[in-house]
Chains A and B, each alone.
Chain A
Amino acid sequence: MNTQSNSSSLKVFFQLLVDRPKTVVAISLLIMGVTLSFLPQLVKDTRADTFLAPDNPALLYRDKVKEQFGLSDPLVIAVVNESEQGIFNPATLSLVDWINTEVDQLSNIDSDRVVSLATEKNIVGTEYGMEVTDFFDPVPANQIEAEFLRDAINDFPLYLGSIVARDGKATLIVAEMVDELLAEDTYAEIMAIVDRAPVSADEQLHVAGEGAIAGYLGSYIDADAQRLNPLAGLIITLIIIFAFRRFSPALTGNVIIAASVLMTLSIMAASGVAFFVITNALPVILIGISVADAIHIYSHFYELQARHPEQARKQLIVDTMLDMWRPVTLTTLTTMAGFLGLYFAAYMPPFKYFGLFTAFGVLVAGVYSLVFLPAAMVLTKVQVSKYFIGKRIAGKSDFFAQLMSGLGHVTCNYPRTVIAIFAVLAVSGIYSASFLVVDEDRINTFHPDERIYQADRVINQHLDGTNTLDIVIETPGVEDLFIPDNLKKIEALQVYAESLPFVRGSTSIVDYLKQMNRALNDGDIAEYQLPESSDLVAQYFLLYSASSDPTDFEEEVDYDYKLANVRININSGSYQDTKGIVQNLEQYIIQEFNNDAIQANLSGRVNVSYHWIKDLGESHFVGVAIALFLVWAVSALLFQSLLAGLFALVPVAGSILLVYSTMVVLGIELGIGTSMFASVAIGLGVDFAIHTLDRLRSFSSNLDGNIDRALERFYPSTGRALFFNFLAISCGFGVLISSKVVPLTNFGVIVALSVTTSFLASLTLLPAMLKVFQPAFVNVSKVNDLEKGGSFVRVATTVLAIGLGGFFLFPAIVDAAETPSADEIVQRVNDVDDGEYVTRKLVMRLTDRRGRERVRETFGYRKYFGDEKRSIIFYESPANVKDTAFLTWDYPDPEVDDDQWLYLPAVRKVRRISASDRGDYFLGTDFTYEDIKLEGSLQPADYNFAFLGEEAVDGVVTYKVQSQPKSEAIAKELGYGRTEFWVDVSNWMVIKADYWDPKGEPLKSLTISDIHQVNGIWTRHRLAIENHKTGHHTQFIFSDVDYDSPVEDGVFTQRSLTRGR
């Protein structure tokens, strides 16, 4: 019979596992080892930007603005002097100068983007017009000069609040980074400067700002994870030892934990998914979940062994597995369903990945519990503690069994009361959920004792705020921003913005113009207003540039005076405080501001944060709904009863509602960390209900449907196991409570609370409901049970197959609809056909910064020999390099150096040369050997790629991709710290690229033009590259490109080099 064959085939399966334990353990460890080889590729990404999909419009626009005005999230250093004089004394001012100089020298700090009293300029009127002088020219040497400076600053409203506190007690040094991905190191360097700064008793230094937050968060979270994960593992080990009075279950439990956690992280690394801030919770969660199955299996085994000490161990293990495989599979599937709910509902990539990969980890734990564990039990010669056999013989149970039996007594005796209590709790939960507040403030990620947290408070208290919102003003024509009407609109917009709560100040070109107007009218405060005509505005800018650096305004206005930026300073980063600002400004811009002559758009950190938090609440509730539905669907399918699915949901639904009430009572907001608790709570909590339902059903069918007797057996056995299961999970999450990352602490509290509730509800409410309502699905006859066993296999297999299918297919479907990932773009670029062989002419034009030009005319060939690429280039002119020739054999294995030969006519000899360091410049051009070799393709072995969005380049739609060398060593070798390139979506050719050196300074820009098909192959005909450091530039002009005429193999030989053909 089918049923018979199913259960017997399972028996054969488990028998096989226990008969070949060494092979099974070895294969399990081997699979783990192979997977772990990907782990070193895991990268950490703590930027706030990661919480939005890379193609999110708010993020794209913010990046565009960043590029236009060079704005980025700054690091802010505050110098505070609470003495009577405030910061206006010679010592504090020279401290500012000292810090400014030190910060300026850091490699990742953009020297042009350090703003402080030491860099800013005063605008004053003179007899001849206007004079622009440095405030620190020189640094005030005595109190009188310091007071002069105080007066000058007080006379310049623009700097009040933005750089110097209105009360004169604090001043800022604001520094922007060249590469925000290096924020962690830069923050550490800044902290080192602050620590060695010559500070007097009255002075305090503080470092904050989004740049600092991103910088510190990485190491902060690392430190936290390094403390939490071992602690969680240790606690769980202790719990297992305590539960079974044996060491081997702890050992095998830890192997399953390691498999689940490490393999999941490895698969993340292999799929190129970064370790985000919230990924920190993943290991702890998996530690708690993955050990649960092992606890149940061991518990059941020991129970059987205590009952039948005479039976062979292997036989008992097989019996255990035959009893336990079903609940283990069930809980694995339902827990996965809970986390996949998060995956489907979340709109932020880190959450999506969190859901997806935790589900994967749960799957690994389930599979290892069913396959590795029985084999390991044989090898470790698992033996129940004599303590339990003794108890059994004495007809007693241990304390925990008694405790659970006590709980059973209460439930059985007062089922209706139990139901009533939970009903009240549920109603109050629904009611309080409506009071839940969605909020998030990045600074609150840090413990209030942290320096950065306090620095943020101090700076926001003294100055206009560390949080910035940018309003980008766009006009259609060149110099439209000279038009007084436009300027007045901007002025009005600033006035409106400053009237909003939490907005402390704003800066734009209007403020500078007003100050210039005042300076040119004898410093009369009444003249602090906009000039009245376009001509005057133009003249002011001209006058300013006559006495100062014209790039001073590049953060406020573009070169053509078409675009301007208004930066708004806000002294709170909280979503609740800033959402009103964003909403009001959006409304004002639409209703009052925008017309054909001028348009405004919001950008900046606060706007980006608004956009990713605003949907958090909705996403959370959708996530809960999806998770509940999935768990219900899976349980219903597995129990083959819609009602059973519903029963399984009751404890978790109750626990979630209770958590909502608790959050409202404790004032915990629904933020990034807390919003994902529900999926976790559902996934974990449902396990208790599943075990309870499954075991009760099994007992009751064995006992002819007598639910009371079934409950009597249930509490000391399964109840006891569930108690340790609960203990392991709640302690695992309890560890999170000790986290210093505040959202994780909150997360730990509420998950621990919800798991406790689920556990209690599963052991009280659920049995009470079964007893009171006597649902049909519990009362299945023994025969049916066996039949059910057969169909269960089918159903479970189907669910698993659908789940796995979705697991692997869904990302593909989603991605196909969205823009391709960076790696896909790179793959497409590299897949562009470049012909098996090619013949072509190449003219190289090398021009130095003085415009002196050197031209080389060459021709060359390239051919693929399998994966090996050989190319040769011959110089034809000028006469003094004629016949020089260069041959390269480029091998596919990146570990194997290329072979290169150079023929120098002056010595008439082929010289073997070492494969040039890839970052060396090719024969005096501005291309490196690596650039030449790649011929427009991209090397995934060297770089991590990130998609930066869609962008139009000269009317061509492109994908912009960033490539970051995988290590500092690679960056050094290639000479590039970072590159950005633009790929034409129509033909997958790179048409533009920018390069930065390993220090983050702009290095080179490449533009590729005249791309057209030759013999059906897209071909680059003109490459222009400029080195920004040397001013040297190189043009490559290809002509007579021919992919059709075969090229003989003999062309790529030393003989050919000497013969010049």
Chain B
Amino acid sequence: MNFVRTPQLKLLGAILIVFGNNASFAQLDRQAFNSIDFSITVDQQLTINSNDGSTQKNQTTIQPRWDADLSDSTSLTAIGRARLDTEAKLGFSGSNAHVDLELRELYIDAEWAGAYWRLGKQQIVWGQADGLRVLDVINPVDLREFILPEFEDHRIPLWTANVEISLNEDWTAQLLLIPDQTYDELPDRDASFAIRSPLLIPTAPAGIPVTLGQTDRPQRLFKDADAGARLSAFLGGWDVSLNYLYHYQDQPVLYQLRDESGITLAPAYERTHLLGGSFSNVFGDTTFRAELGYSSDRFFLSDDGNDSDGIVSSGEISYVLGLDYQGWRDWFVSAQIFQSIVTDDGGSLVRDSVDTTATFLARRYFLNESVQAEALFIQSLNNDDGVLQASLEYEWSSNIRINIGADIFFGSSKGLFGQFKEKDRVSAGIEFGY
């Protein structure tokens, strides 16, 4: 079971006590409980590996949700999730290979002291890019199925204090404190989508044994908490934001310690400052989006065998430019270009110092939007690999949706996408919502 960790639960209790003094909580009476709204979705997905015909996943996801209005300006939301998979090939980190229970979100929304608070376990998304992460790094992700599932499903909610304050008519400030040391969940080594790309996993020369050491994981609730701020505004037709986040990167740096006995991997989480901004505007039928970020301390694998720890430390600039076109009835077309630039590569990076990825999305609605067909194409311009995700979803009735899809990887098996080219899959599913 991957349930709530105790420190955070205590924190929530403290928050509840603080707010309990407020009039809004005093109204938490029978009437308030009467306004609890319960909804649930049940999603059944079957995924077949199209390369070998094996079943990759046969998973039922049950997601109950409670929304309770505590007063006019205060509400409580709780979302749970149960995943049951007959196959267990994705590498659950749960207690049982087939079952995973999780409290996804639990937060309280309140208007207090002239500000808007959302306290508790939640997801927060920054930035304007779709699928590509420049500023959207607050929440870690679950990489059991690489990047294939919807973000909503593979982003890991964190215990967060989130407050938004309207500074004036145009400007809003958001302050975040994230005392939650949960990071990306990586699949097990033998799982379907285990990471193998040398871009991410150091490779050792043949014959040299590699041992995995203890991971250096931050432990201190507040001292190791992430913190951030965002200023956003709507100015002259432009949506703009300025973002700052001081955070632990969600994937550990794989330091390689070399001695006679071989190489010992010593994973450690490292902190960085992230400074960035985003803006978007609409020109006729076209939406222009852009997002830029600078991380002060990033760590990359080195290909220099003599490097002391196999890691190069550098700053990184990354940005996304995107265009969405909605000029054709029932169509949505979007193209993005993403670039990551290592500012101080020292000439020994495994990856290229400038890495470019392009995405193209075409979506078409049919029959009063009851049918949605979509194709998403992601291409790495450095490694000539990529993925094509195609899907068709039919809203059979208010409560039932049926979908089919295919995910096809291609390119060099050393690339981020190409590493999964044996994992192409087709899927079919049905989702009930009540």
Residues of A within 8 A of B (CB): 846, 848, 852-856, 876-880, 882, 897, 899, 905-909, 911-917, 919-921, 923-926, 1030, 1032, 1050, 1053-1055, 1059, 1061
A913 x B365 contact (CB < 8 A)? no
Most central of B41, B118, B330, B398 by chain A CB within 10 Å: B398
A879 x B65 contact (CB < 8 A)? yes
B150 x A914 contact (CB < 8 A)? no
B287 x A920 contact (CB < 8 A)? no
A1054 x B232 contact (CB < 8 A)? yes
B369 x A917 contact (CB < 8 A)? no
Residues on the A chain within 8 Å of B356, using CB: none
Q: How far apart sit A333 and B71, CA to CA, in the bound complex (Å)?
A: 76
29 sample A-B contacts, Cβ–Cβ < 8 Å, listed by A number? A848-B370, A852-B397, A856-B398, A877-B398, A878-B399, A878-B433, A879-B41, A897-B284, A899-B234, A899-B237, A906-B151, A912-B128, A912-B239, A912-B280, A912-B282, A912-B289, A913-B287, A914-B282, A915-B282, A921-B329, A921-B330, A924-B368, A924-B369, A924-B370, A925-B368, A1032-B367, A1053-B166, A1054-B172, A1059-B118
Q: Does B395 contact A (CB under 8 A)?
A: yes
Q: Does B112 contact A (CB under 8 A)?
A: no
Residues on the A chain within 8 Å of B280, using CB: 912
Residues of B within 8 A of A (CB): 37, 39-41, 65, 75, 109, 116, 118, 123-125, 127-128, 130, 150-152, 155, 164, 166, 172, 232, 234, 237, 239, 280-287, 289, 324, 326-327, 329-330, 365, 367-370, 395-399, 401, 431, 433-434
Task: Please pick, from A880, A909, A917, the residue contacting B285 in the complex, using a CB distance under 8 A.
Answer: A917
B433 x A879 contact (CB < 8 A)? yes
Q: Least Cβ distance of B145 to chain A in Å?
A: 16
Q: Least Cβ distance of A113 to chain B in Å?
A: 29
Q: Least Cβ distance of A916 to chain B in Å?
A: 7
Our count of residue pairs bridging A and B at CB distance below 8 angstroms stands at 119
Residues on the A chain within 8 Å of B109, using CB: 1059, 1061
Task: Please pick, from A852, A853, A879, A911, the residue contacting B39 in the complex, using a CB distance under 8 A.
Answer: A879
Q: How far apart sit A1030 and B326, CA to CA, in the bound complex (Å)?
A: 22
Known: A848-B368, A854-B398. A913 touches B326 (CB 8 A): yes
Q: How far apart sit A1019 and B280, CA to CA, in the bound complex (Å)?
A: 37
Please, which residue of chain A has its CB at the minimum distance from the CB of B126? A909
Q: Least Cβ distance of A672 to chain B in Å?
A: 46
Please, which residue of chain B has its CB at the minimum distance from the CB of A905? B152
Residues on the A chain within 8 Å of B284, using CB: 897, 914
Residues on the A chain within 8 Å of B398, using CB: 853-856, 877-878
Q: How far apart sit A877 and B124, CA to CA, in the bound complex (Å)?
A: 22
B395 x A879 contact (CB < 8 A)? no
A880 x B433 contact (CB < 8 A)? yes
Please, which residue of chain B has its CB at the minimum distance from the CB of A907? B151
Please, which residue of chain A has its CB at the minimum distance from the CB of B284? A914
Q: Least Cβ distance of B77 to chain A in Å?
A: 9
Q: How far apart sit A919 and B284, CA to CA, in the bound complex (Å)?
A: 14
Known: A912-B289, A916-B326. A853 touches B368 (CB 8 A): no
B116 x A899 contact (CB < 8 A)? no
Please, which residue of chain A has its CB at the minimum distance from the CB of B332? A913
Residues on the B chain within 8 Å of A920, using CB: 329-330
A877 x B39 contact (CB < 8 A)? yes
Q: How far apart sit A911 and B151, CA to CA, in the bound complex (Å)?
A: 15
Q: Least Cβ distance of B195 to chain A in Å?
A: 24
Q: How far apart sit A926 and B368, CA to CA, in the bound complex (Å)?
A: 8
Known: A878-B399, A879-B65, A907-B125. A846 touches B368 (CB 8 A): yes
Q: How far apart sit A930 and B312, CA to CA, in the bound complex (Å)?
A: 56
Residues on the A chain within 8 Å of B150, using CB: 906-907
Please, which residue of chain B has its CB at the minimum distance from the CB of A1049? B169
Q: How far apart sit A848 and B395, CA to CA, in the bound complex (Å)?
A: 11
Given A879-B41, A879-B65, 20 more A-B residue pairs with CB atoms under 8 Å apart are A848-B367, A876-B37, A878-B39, A878-B434, A897-B282, A912-B128, A912-B239, A913-B282, A914-B283, A914-B287, A914-B324, A914-B327, A919-B329, A920-B330, A921-B329, A921-B369, A924-B365, A924-B369, A1054-B172, A1061-B109
Residues on the B chain within 8 Å of A878, using CB: 39, 398-399, 433-434
Q: How far apart sit A882 and B116, CA to CA, in the bound complex (Å)?
A: 21
Q: Which 3 A-B pairs have the closest CB atoms?
A: A924-B369, A879-B433, A880-B433
Please, which residue of chain B has its CB at the minimum distance from the CB of A920? B329
Q: How far apart sit A356 and B396, CA to CA, in the bound complex (Å)?
A: 63
Q: Least Cβ distance of B61 to chain A in Å?
A: 12
Q: Least Cβ distance of B18 to chain A in Å?
A: 20
Residues on the A chain within 8 Å of B116, using CB: 1055, 1059
Most central of B116, B118, B434 by chain A CB within 10 Å: B116
Known: A879-B65, A907-B152, A909-B125. A1032 touches B282 (CB 8 A): no
Residues on the B chain within 8 Å of A915, using CB: 282
Residues on the B chain within 8 Å of A848, using CB: 367-368, 370
Q: Least Cβ distance of A884 to chain B in Å?
A: 12
A908 x B41 contact (CB < 8 A)? no
Q: How far apart sit A36 and B365, CA to CA, in the bound complex (Å)?
A: 46
Please, which residue of chain A has its CB at the minimum distance from the CB of B396? A852
Known: A878-B398, A907-B151, A1059-B109. A912 touches B370 (CB 8 A): no
Please, which residue of chain A has its CB at the minimum distance from the CB of B139? A908
Q: Least Cβ distance of B246 to chain A in Å?
A: 22
Q: How far apart sit A914 and B280, CA to CA, in the bound complex (Å)?
A: 11
Q: Least Cβ distance of A407 to chain B in Å?
A: 72
Please, which residue of chain B has its CB at the minimum distance from the CB of A1033? B368
Residues on the A chain within 8 Å of B39, using CB: 877-879, 882
Please, which residue of chain A has its CB at the minimum distance from the CB of B433? A879
Residues on the A chain within 8 Å of B124, using CB: 908
Q: How far apart sit A912 and B239, CA to CA, in the bound complex (Å)?
A: 8
Q: Least Cβ distance of A1055 to chain B in Å?
A: 5
Residues on the A chain within 8 Å of B75, using CB: 1061
Q: Least Cβ distance of B230 to chain A in Å?
A: 11
Residues on the B chain within 8 Å of A854, using CB: 370, 395, 397-398
Please, which residue of chain B has its CB at the minimum distance from the CB of A924? B369
Please, which residue of chain B has its CB at the minimum distance from the CB of A901? B239
Residues on the A chain within 8 Å of B37, using CB: 876
Please, which residue of chain A has its CB at the minimum distance from the CB of B116? A1055
Known: A914-B282, A1055-B116. A908 touches B370 (CB 8 A): no
Residues on the B chain within 8 Å of A919, using CB: 329
Task: Please pick, from A855, A906, A913, the residue contacting B324 in the complex, using a CB distance under 8 A.
Answer: A913
Residues on the A chain within 8 Å of B286, using CB: 914
Q: Least Cβ distance of B126 to chain A in Å?
A: 9
Q: How far apart sit A1030 and B367, CA to CA, in the bound complex (Å)?
A: 8
Please, which residue of chain B has its CB at the minimum distance from the CB of A908? B125
Residues on the B chain within 8 Å of A925, using CB: 368
Please, which residue of chain B has its CB at the minimum distance from the CB of A881? B433
Residues on the A chain within 8 Å of B283, using CB: 914
Please, which residue of chain B has its CB at the minimum distance from the CB of A906? B152
Please, which residue of chain A has its CB at the minimum distance from the CB of B329? A920
Q: How far apart sit A923 and B41, CA to CA, in the bound complex (Å)?
A: 22
Most central of A848, A914, A915, A926 by chain B CB within 10 Å: A914
Q: Least Cβ distance of B113 to chain A in Å?
A: 14
Q: How far apart sit A39 and B154, CA to CA, in the bound complex (Å)?
A: 62
A879 x B434 contact (CB < 8 A)? yes
Known: A878-B399, A914-B284, A914-B324. A908 touches B368 (CB 8 A): no
Q: How far apart sit A920 and B328, CA to CA, in the bound complex (Å)?
A: 9
Q: How far apart sit A876 and B65, CA to CA, in the bound complex (Å)?
A: 12
Residues on the A chain within 8 Å of B232, using CB: 1054
Known: A855-B398, A1055-B172. A1050 touches B166 (CB 8 A): yes
Known: A854-B395, A897-B282, A924-B365. A914 touches B151 (CB 8 A): no
Q: How far apart sit A327 and B41, CA to CA, in the bound complex (Å)?
A: 90
Task: Please pick, from A911, A917, A1032, A1053, the residue contacting B368 in the complex, using a CB distance under 8 A.
Answer: A1032
Q: How far apart sit A846 and B367, CA to CA, in the bound complex (Å)?
A: 11
Task: Please pick, from A853, A880, A924, A1054, the residue contacting B431 in the complex, using a CB distance under 8 A.
Answer: A880
Residues on the A chain within 8 Å of B234, using CB: 899, 1054
Q: How far apart sit A1061 and B70, CA to CA, in the bound complex (Å)?
A: 14
Task: Please pick, from B118, B152, B285, the residue contacting A914 in the complex, using a CB distance under 8 A.
Answer: B285
